[in-house]
Structure 1
Amino acid sequence: MTRTFPRGVDVAVVGSGPCGAAVARTLGERAPHLTVAVFEAGPQLTATPGQHIKSIADPAARAVAQRRSQGPGPVADGRTARPGTYLLPDGYRAPGEDGLPAAAMSRNVGGMGAHWTGACPRPGESERIGFLPGLDGLLDEAERLLAVRPDAFDDVPFTGLVRERLAAAFDTGRGPGRTVRAMPLAVHRAADGRVTWSGADVVLGPTTPRTLLYADAHVRRVRTDHDRVTGVTVRDLVHGGEHEVAARAVVVAADALRTPQLLWASGIRPTALGRYLNDQHQVVFAARLADVPDAAQAADGDATAAARHSGVSWVPYTDAEPFHGQVMQLDASPVPLASDDVPLPGSIVGLGWFCAKDLRAEDRVTFDDNRTDADGMPAPGVHYTLTDRDRAALESARKAVRRAAEALGSPIDPEPITLPLGSSLHYQGTVRMGEADDGTSVCDPDGQVWNTDGLYVAGNGVIPTATACNPTLTSVALAVGTARRIAAVLG
């Protein structure tokens, strides 16, 4: 028996993560008569396609799902990937460069949306895309699709105290929207305390009969004819064989490494393809809150119930301090404590500071036509170097995260830890949008690839600015704009 792949659809979407799901959802709402096929190279992990892994209650079943997301196989060279992701086996660092040794991907229905933290801050100041006047409206829509809320864990013990102390340390001189606040999260908390994290299933919403999803279906080529997209070539990873699927429009919504890989493999190679690769170099630290009241007096709600989950606060990016802070109250210390030391729930605080990259065309992912990866695609190679400006920002972030820890109470570690490059999993820029086809961008402000009619890109790789905030909200917003353009063009 074999699966039946369609001979033709109106829109083929490559990748089933939050951005691919946003394209399918928007097309279903705006142009329900269009047939949309979403192709995903990885397996379906949950009965409802694209659910977050945290929605799997059984720990053993959750671990199995995570292993199934981990792609071609393990890397046995001392580097460690987060559960549910897998590392580049080689090519992650060129000689004499910093590289991205922790660069990782996931491979499953729902993409990284099955594993992410749900943080959805809005970009600010120079993080914003200045040539996109409708950005705020698109961000509003992205918040709707992701089911974002700012107050999910406000009743965690000591949350108000954490924000009060962070505000005293960081708010002076900050403009509107840039002061310390709750982190907007893509999460739902039921009345009984159960938490549901938004995965691609939430973004996709109720599908129409004309929205089709194919798991274990690896798109290997985008087909074109005279600078016009005609469809995709898909390999069935369950039963074998390749299928040609005609399409009036194709949206490649993989990630910032695999989207340019597919375009390159398809012979679509604009000058900026793979360039302006940027990650957010990251510093982490931890502190214990000092001078805290009794836990029962510190929370507005039920302290016992709230303590099962983290409170999340946000120190936004500013141009003056080009990093962003994600502050999580923890139920347990991230480092070993003395056996008789049992901290109050919520009183141990984890601090993660993300730095914006100094954007350069030289930072890029390249592809080798003479060498293939585990999927038989052109093998990627990363060229990536921190500039003097990057290193200065990183040092400033180390000072800022220590300032935050000391404002909260007592640092737990002796010094902040700088994580290996790539650890943020927030890679961007490799198919960036631009105002004009001038060699510095891959697509126009609606995501259409220059000089290839009907071909669009979506995902973190489209973001053209240097950001420190978590990119998912922005990339979903841009995917909504792309889908609206397609709906208008195809009618």
Structure 2
Amino acid sequence: MAGELARKGCQVVVIEAGTAGTGEHGRNLDSTPGGTRGFADFLEGALAPLNRAAATPPRLPGLVGIHGVGGMLVGWTHNSPNPDWWELPGWIEHDCWGRLVARASDLLHVGVAISTEDGRYKDFEEIVARRVGALPDGREVQPMPIAAEPLDSGGWRFSAADDLLRGAHENIRLITDHVVRTVVHRRGAATGVLAHPVGGGDPLLINADAVVIAAGTVGSAQLIAASGLEAGPALGAYLTEHTIVASRVLLKANLRRNEESDRFPPSVWIPPSRAHEWSTTINATQWNFNPAIPADAPFDNTIDLLSFCPVEPQESNRLQFDAEREDGFGLPVATGAVELSNSDFDVAGDALRELFLLSSDLGDLVTGWGMRVPARGGSMHLMGSCRMGAVESESSVVSPEGRLWAYENCYVAGNAVLGERNASNPTLTTIAFALHVADAISSPSTSTLVADCKESS
């Protein structure tokens, strides 16, 4: 959002609760296939409970994140599946969604060359396609789109927030180690924000012609509640994420590499569709989801299988805020829960069955088979809480342009607005929507976004 507005000539102030940085992806510390497992160490050091909390919420025990420039975009998987039509909110036209997703893909250098560079790719794809059977046109088994660009020297560079900020730095002022606790507003308009130093001290009053709240699914709703912004009963509600079932297998002898290679293993994708409502990726990751396989098993001789299953958004799946208690950032303590419906369990059960069969097709299960379902909230794909809607209603928080219904110039971006059932990794959808909101803010009918800072006593 900040990068797009700045490229359009707007002056933007970004307030980041974490430390300074470039927004480059941690995978680029060693972007070779051999660096994949080392990336797990990076994540272990970067992921932590949100807002310096002592622990994760009891009903969302897997909920963690990254504070710092780029947030979770410095630690994401780079899988960039193109969402199917039913995964996208219908109050933005499908053709418009297509253009927005294409723009997001271009910014992140999304392509399939890295997925298919290994000579074994077609063998993997054929085995998977045979197991899955016929799928709708365009949603057949195919290479996973991955956000990475080839280097002139060979190898790959993985995309992150620095790609979204490219060409925009001269119009962006970045304020780190500050957390916004209040959006200042009056008479249906936001006038700015109060940003407090994380370590204590006087806040900054930042005046602005428009305010964009993009603090994640938890933080965005938390800040709206803390600021006393009118958002209606849907604030915090309609939480959803992906139930993940995952495993790792030792490949069958004929699918293993015969010699060392600097190419990434194949990455195969089963797209979600009405005929196959979960998204499955077969590739090599930094995590071992199968306790039957030793952690030091040869990397080239294993493959991981992950299925992302949709969860029906329900009003009762929601965040709640305790105004009597503050978290480590001085915001109301957030708790919440995401409970699965019977249909959610049915889809996850179908995905699990398929996962086992694919494991037997690709791997040698003689030594055993195991799988894992991450703790609730642990998909890293928590969505909802500031749900987008077609019209102002008790079931939505923001308009199709991301604007809080009751305010002329206060917007929300990020996963928080995505309160619909979906299975694809939400990164492309989230960035596409951020571009849509940036277009709305910078349109001729909207005031230019200008911000200035000053100390506030």
Do Structure 1 and Structure 2 share a fold, with TM-score over 0.5? yes
Read off the aligned partner of 1:453 and give its amino acid letter: E
- Mapped pair 1:131 → 2:95: no
Give the number of equivalent residue pairs: 435
CA distance in 1, matches of 2:403, 2:316: 23
**1:443 alignment partner, SS class:** coil
Counterpart AA for 1:193: G
Task: Name the SS for the 1:105 alignment partner.
Answer: coil
Letter in 1 for 2:99: G
Q: Distance in 2 between matches of 1:243 and 1:222?
A: 12
Q: Which residue of 1 aligns with 2:335?
A: 381
Q: How does 1:247-286 map to 2 (within 5 A)?
A: 247-268=208-229, 269-286=231-248
1:44 is matched with: 20
The code of the aligned residue for 1:282 comes to I
| 1:354 has 2:308 as partner | yes
Does the CA contact (< 8 Å) of 2:289 and 2:370 recur in 1? Answer: no
Q: What corresponds to 2:396 in structure 1? A: 441
User: How much does 1:415 deviate?
Assistant: 3.7
Which of 419, 429, 434 matches 1:464?
A: 419
The 8 Å contact of residues 38 and 212 in structure 1, kept in 2 or not, is answered as yes
Give the % identical residues: 27
Structure 1 match to 2:60 = 100
1:7-28 superposed Cα distances (whole Å, 9 cap, x missing partner):
xxxxxxxxxxxxxxxx122212
Local SS of the residue matching 1:186: strand
For each residue in 1:441-480, what CA deviation from the matched residue of structure 2 results, as whole angstroms up to 9, or x when unmatched? 1111111111111000000111132111110110000000
Q: Does 1:305 align with 2:305?
A: no
Aligned residue runs from structure 1 range 198-347, under 5 A: 198-237=159-198, 240-268=201-229, 269-292=231-254, 295=257, 304-306=261-263, 309-329=264-284, 346-347=300-301
- Does the alignment pair 1:154 with 2:116? yes
Q: Show CA shifts across 1:159-198 (max 9, x none).
A: 22111111111141x1122111111111122243332111
- What is the Cα deviation at residue 53 of structure 1? 1.5
With 155-164 and 218-227 compared, the bigger mean Cα shift is at 155-164
TM-score by length of 1: 0.82
Which of 120, 131, 141 pairs up with 1:169? 131
> What is the distance in 2 between the residues matched to 1:365 and 1:305?
45
Q: Which runs of at least 4 in structure 1 moved beyond 3 Å after TM superposition?
A: 88-91, 191-194, 293-297, 329-339
Unaligned runs of 5+ in 1: 1-22, 70-80, 94-98, 298-302
Q: Contact (CA 8 Å) 1:372, 1:379: kept in 2 or not? A: yes
1:454 and 2:405 correspond: no
CA distance in structure 1 between the partners assigned to 2:344 and 2:242 by the alignment = 10
Q: Which moved more, 1:365-374 or 1:149-158?
A: 149-158
Q: CA deviation at 1:383?
A: 2.6
Q: Report if aligned partners of 1:271, 1:440 keep a CA contact under 8 Å in 2.
A: yes
Q: CA deviation at 1:117?
A: 0.8
Native 8 Å contact 2:215 2:414 kept in 1: yes
Asked if residue 144 in structure 1 is aligned to residue 98 in structure 2, the reply is: no
The residue aligned with 1:487 is: 442
Structure 1 residue 323, shift from structure 2 partner: 1.2
1:432 aligns with 2:432: no
Could you tell me the TM-score, scaled by structure 2's length? 0.88
Deviation at 1:131, TM superposition (A): 2.0
C-alpha separation in 1, matches of 2:411 and 2:270? 34
Confirm or deny: 8 A CA contact 1:433 1:444 kept in the other structure.
yes
> Aligned-pair distance for 1:112?
0.3
Assess, with a 3 A threshold, how the Cα gap between structure 1 residues 294 and 260 changes in structure 2: closer, same or farther. closer
Q: For 1:354 and 1:122, how far apart are their aligned partners in 2? A: 14
Cα RMSD over matched residues? 2.9
Displacement, 1:316?
A: 1.0
- Aligned partner letter, 1:244: L
Q: Would you say the 8 A contact 1:157–1:295 is kept in 2? A: no
